[in-house]
């Protein structure tokens, strides 16, 4: 797999030290069992904030890897706007440097998004690195925004690049990553149903199985 280093920036560290490493191992072991519904459940006795933090990091890395295989095909020429089919267009705003949503190419949107998410993950006041440091009161709101925006990348990939994914023989990996993402966000009610409309059929199929 060829990875575009400009776009791909997997965070290999954990978000909260030893505790997160333990939770990451739990994720890996349950995913390996093939039971994704079991894999998304909060392990008994664990802190939900830690669980959300570790999974958010995983989802960020998964989307980064998937999109990195498409960067030569997803260009300003091929994808001048960030869309998911003809009915859905996503505009970018981070509320700081870009306060009013702007139309950008899909490639630019993803680059803005990954930079923004990485900044959140590296901000210790939001994602504390040391065991025992408290999560902020708005932590759940931040996670919801991150996951809502990561969904948009999945929606763009499925609508605009799925045939390319098939030609690269990556559809099984894409489908497994997306299924894990959908089951997790559904388990904790992290993305509103209206936000999932661009992939409604796929989402419903996952949830009904």
Q: Please give the pLDDT value at position 16.
A: 45
Q: Minimal CA–CA distance to 123: which of 57, 62, 189?
A: 57
Does residue 5 lie within any of the structural domains?
A: no
Q: Residue 209: which pLDDT band, with cuts at 50, 70 and 90?
A: confident
Share of residues in the chain with pLDDT > 90 (%)? 75
Look up the pTM and report it.
0.86
Q: Provide the CATH number for the domain around residue 87.
A: 1.20.140.30
Q: Residue 49: which pLDDT band, with cuts at 50, 70 and 90?
A: very high
Distances, alpha carbon 188 to alpha carbons 19, 65, 138, in Å: 21, 24, 16
Does residue 2 lie within any of the structural domains?
A: no
Q: Which residues does 152 contact at the CB level (< 8 Å), separation at least 6?
A: 82, 84, 90, 109, 113, 198
Share the mean pLDDT of the chain. Answer: 86
Distances, alpha carbon 167 to alpha carbons 70, 163, 190, 201, in Å: 11, 6, 32, 22
Give 69's DSSP letter.
T
Give bridge partners of residue 89 from the DSSP assignment: 83
Q: What is the pLDDT of residues 148-157, one digit of tens each?
A: 999 999 999 9
Share of residues in the chain with pLDDT > 70 (%)? 84
Residue 189, domain extent: 17-208
Q: Please give the pLDDT value at position 167.
A: 95
Q: What is the pLDDT of residues 156-197, one digit of tens each?
A: 999 999 999 999 999 999 999 999 999 999 999 999 999 999
Does residue 41 lie within any of the structural domains?
A: yes
Six-digit token pair at 34? Answer: 């093939």
A 10 A CB-CB count for 148 gives 16
Does residue 8 lie within any of the structural domains?
A: no
* Residues 126, 139 contacting (CB under 8 angstroms): yes
Does residue 115 lie within any of the structural domains?
A: yes
Q: Please give the pLDDT value at position 166.
A: 92
Distances, alpha carbon 52 to alpha carbons 26, 56, 71, 130, 185, in Å: 13, 6, 28, 16, 10
Does residue 99 lie within any of the structural domains?
A: yes
Six-digit token pair at 123? Answer: 């901000």
Provide the sign of the torsion angle of the four alpha carbons 143, 84, 183, 171, taken in this order.
negative
Q: Please give the pLDDT value at position 115.
A: 95
Does residue 4 lie within any of the structural domains?
A: no
Task: Please state the domain count of the chain.
Answer: 1
Q: Please give the pLDDT value at position 1.
A: 32
Give 92's DSSP letter.
B
Phi, psi (rounded to 5 degrees) for 83: -125, 165
Q: Minimal CA–CA distance to 107: which of 84, 145, 81, 69?
A: 81
Instruction: Tell me what the mean pLDDT of segment 106-121 comes to.
Output: 96
Does residue 100 lie within any of the structural domains?
A: yes
């Amino acid at each position: 797999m060829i990875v575009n280093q400009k776009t791909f920036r997997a965070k290999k560290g954990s978000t909260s030290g030893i505790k997160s490493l333990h939770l990451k191992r739990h994720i890996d072991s349950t995913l390996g069992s093939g039971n994704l519904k079991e894999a998304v459940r909060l392990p008994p006795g664990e802190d939900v904030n830690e669980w959300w933090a570790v999974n958010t990091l995983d989802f960020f890395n998964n989307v980064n890897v998937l999109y990195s295989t498409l960067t030569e095909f997803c260009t300003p020429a091929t994808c001048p706007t960030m869309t998911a089919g003809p009915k859905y267009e996503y505009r970018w705003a981070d509320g700081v440097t870009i306060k009013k949503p702007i139309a950008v190419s899909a490639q630019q949107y993803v680059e803005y998004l990954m930079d923004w998410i990485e900044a959140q993950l590296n901000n210790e006041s939001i994602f504390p690195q040391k065991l025992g440091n408290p999560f902020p009161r708005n932590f759940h709101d931040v996670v919801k925004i991150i996951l809502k925006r990561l969904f948009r990348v999945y929606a763009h990939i499925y609508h605009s690049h799925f045939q390319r994914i098939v030609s690269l023989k990556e559809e099984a990996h894409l489908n497994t990553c997306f299924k894990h993402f959908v089951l997790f966000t559904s388990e904790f009610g992290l993305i509103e149903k209206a936000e999932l409309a661009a992939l409604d059929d796929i989402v419903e199929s996952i949830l009904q199985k």
